[in-house]
A and B are shown apart, each in its own frame.
Chain A
Amino acid sequence: MADTSHGTGGLTFDKSKRSWPNELNILLALVIIIVVFEIIGQTAPYMRGQSFLFDTKDRFDSIFNEARLQIIILQVAIIGIIALGVTQVIITAGIDLSSGPLVAATAMIAMSFAQTEFVNGQPNPKALFGAWAMDLPVMIPVVIGLTFGAFIGMVNGFFIAYLRIPPFIATLGMFLICRGIALWWSGGNPVSFPTEQFSALGSGMMPVVWFISLAVIFQLIMSYTVYGKHTYAIGSNEEAARMSGINVKRHKLMVYMIAAMLAAFAGIVLSSKASTAQAGMGEFYELFAIAMAVIGGISLQGGRGSIIGTVLGAMVLGVIRSGFTYIKLDGSYQLMAMGGIIIAAVVLDQFRQRNRV
């Protein structure tokens, strides 16, 4: 047989030839951003040589400024949990705009089953239901919250997969519906004073623990299971996926359900952390979650992106937030910088896509 192969040809499985993973670029960007803040901090006269990342005042046992590291990740952990689900949705070439209001609605609903009967010996002033709903075991508000999330996700998925409503429209509608539910649930009043058990879910560094554990679980799921493979396949070429025998509709329904359950869980953790649930909670969370995925190298056309990338994207946003606080520039600059970073991330990524061999 004539040798008609290309280049070196032959059949190989060469681990060393695997392409340079996109995640390394984001990690690199993260390091550069940190270095920039560090340099500004060390050189700007008004900063008097404070370090961004290192412990120069010997307040901690390690060489790092642990308080800052904790804040960096803590302030993005809850939105990060949402972003894990949004990442999966975007990999199927979809989008989920309903996650922010879903956080609020779930927070309201879960909190109303997590209230404690007596606050400092007085009856709970924010009690929504009677005594039957007071001091319930922590599993009850959690299960109710997740079930509500699963239901909302099922509705999203049903309209998108089975009735072929564009994901943008279906989840935009759900965005308003969920905000409405959050307001209607208690007539606009905050629901507060949870049980100790419920408070423990989101106290201290717990949001970070949840975020990292869920990120590890979903990274493994996306890389090593049939669910993950089919999610990528659907986003990459839906027609090919269908022709290959994948039940595309059922799979999409499942992806939207998982994403909504992650957002619902974020709502539970957020209300626990804040010890209160308010209808206005989670504003712009859906957009920040999408931004994390986008900075993490996801393609809105589907098929490309990873959980690790999204985690790094979340870290970039976290570093920028605390970095601007550290160099004493106020919130308005933060927003402008974040916007710039999001656009720059996509521009650089497109540049990279076009120039590769």
Chain B
Amino acid sequence: MNDIVLKTEDLTKHYGGVHALEGAHFELKRGEHVAIMGDNGAGKSTFVRQITGVEQRTRGKVWLYGEKVDFVGPLDAREAGIETVFQTLALADHLDVPDNLFLGREKTKWDWLGPFRLLDYKAMRKDTLDALERTGVKIPNIRNTIERMSGGQRQCVAIARTASFSSKLTIMDEPTAALGVQETAQVENIIRTLKEAGEPLILVSHNMRQVFDLVDRIVVFRRGRICANLDIKNDKYTGEDVVSYITGAKTGEEYMDTAT
């Protein structure tokens, strides 16, 4: 049972009359990297928002490592071990890298001082360097504030942040959508490092080449429903196949009844 990192059953989200997500059955195994693809409005981000507790689902069940979970908010999901890198980065622009990595979970000394307890900068710097090394993130100077960094470096900090707290599941929502070629390569290298470390990952992406380079399996969403589940490890599928699933030219056999 615990080989399944994340499982959803009949996961559904309606916004008023709009059926953004309908009956999603999804499974993620230990160490597996899965990509979620689909056209705009196909339900990818809605799906992510339900499992990370950002929104409350209309219907359905979610299990994390075999345990049924009901997150009331993103913090709840985070405490349970789901780390998310959102399209809009949740970083404090005026703070530096260690500050951002440890925001809300600072290492402190003299805890008897309550809210005025001292920050253990030295320990946080050391752990930051360790975390960056582990994820292969390269940042010229960790004392730089986020506002002085390129989009790619910011994304790397956001990813390093998820990776530095031994998360149980990492979710990235279009991590390279706004990045240049070099920066994209840097983020992709981090994802490979996570793969080697056996960290499970859900990657939402539009980039076909990237997905084929990085993940084991592609799940395609169309009009709020999952319409294909493609194991791409054995070169059975090409980018063209995936495109026809996305556009609706093809539908996975097991989804014939439900997908539209």
Contact code string A213-239 (vs B, CB < 8 Å = 1, else 0): 000000001001111010011011101
Contact present for A245 and B94 (CB under 8 Å): no
Q: Nearest CB to that of B88 among chain A residues?
A: A239
List B residues 100-124 near A (Cβ within 8 Å): 103-106, 108, 113, 115-119, 121
**Bound complex: CA of A240 vs CA of B108, how far in Å?**
20
Contact A14 B119 (CB under 8 A): no
Partner of A7, one of B79, B140, B192: B140
The yes or no answer to B2 lying at the interface (CB within 8 A) is no
B138 touches A18 (CB 8 A): no
Query: Is the C-beta of A246 less than 8 angstroms from some C-beta in chain B?
Result: yes
Chain B residues near A229 (CB-CB < 8 A): 95, 99, 103, 106, 119
Give min CB distance, B145 to chain A, whole Å: 8
**Which among B75, B103, B132 has the highest number of chain A CB atoms within 10 Å?**
B103
Query: Once bound together, how far apart are the Cα atoms of A5 and B79, in whole Å?
Result: 32
In the assembled complex, which residues on chain A have CB atoms less than 8 Å from the CB atom of B125?
A: 13
B92 within 8 A of A: yes
Which residues of chain B in 192-249 are interfacial with respect to chain A, using CB atoms and an 8 Å cutoff? 192-193
> CB distance A14 to B141 under 8 Å?
yes
In angstroms, Cα B92 to Cα A15, docked, is 21
* Cβ contact within 8 Å between B115 and A237: no
Q: From residue A352, how far is it (CB to closest CB) to chain B in Å?
A: 13
**B189 in contact with A14 (CB, 8 Å):** no
Give the interface size class of chain A. 35 or more
Contact partner of A10 (CB less than 8 A), chosen from B91, B115, B138, is: B138
From B108, B143, B150, B193, contact of A226 by CB (8 A): B108
Closest approach, in angstroms, between the C-beta of B235 and any C-beta of chain A?
Answer: 23
A2 contacts partner chain B, Cβ-Cβ < 8 Å: yes
Query: CB distance B133 to A221 under 8 Å?
Result: no
Interface flags for B77-91 (1: CB within 8 Å of A; 0: not) read 011000000000111
A336 contacts the other chain (CB 8 A): no
Q: What chain A residues lie within 8 Å of B142 (beta carbons)?
A: 11-13
Q: Are A232 and B182 in contact (CB under 8 A)?
A: no
Besides A10-B140, A245-B75, 8 other A-B contacts (C-beta < 8 A) = A1-B189, A229-B103, A232-B94, A237-B90, A237-B91, A237-B93, A244-B105, A245-B78
Could you pull out 25 A-B pairs where Cβ atoms are within 8 angstroms? Answer: A1-B136, A1-B193, A2-B185, A4-B185, A4-B186, A6-B150, A6-B153, A10-B140, A12-B140, A12-B142, A226-B106, A226-B117, A227-B116, A229-B106, A232-B95, A233-B99, A235-B94, A240-B90, A241-B104, A243-B78, A243-B90, A244-B90, A244-B105, A245-B104, A303-B94
Listed in ascending order, the chain B residues whose CB lies under 8 Å from chain A are 74-75, 78-79, 89-95, 99, 103-106, 108, 113, 115-119, 121, 125, 129, 132-133, 136, 138-145, 148, 150, 152-153, 182-183, 185-186, 189, 192-193
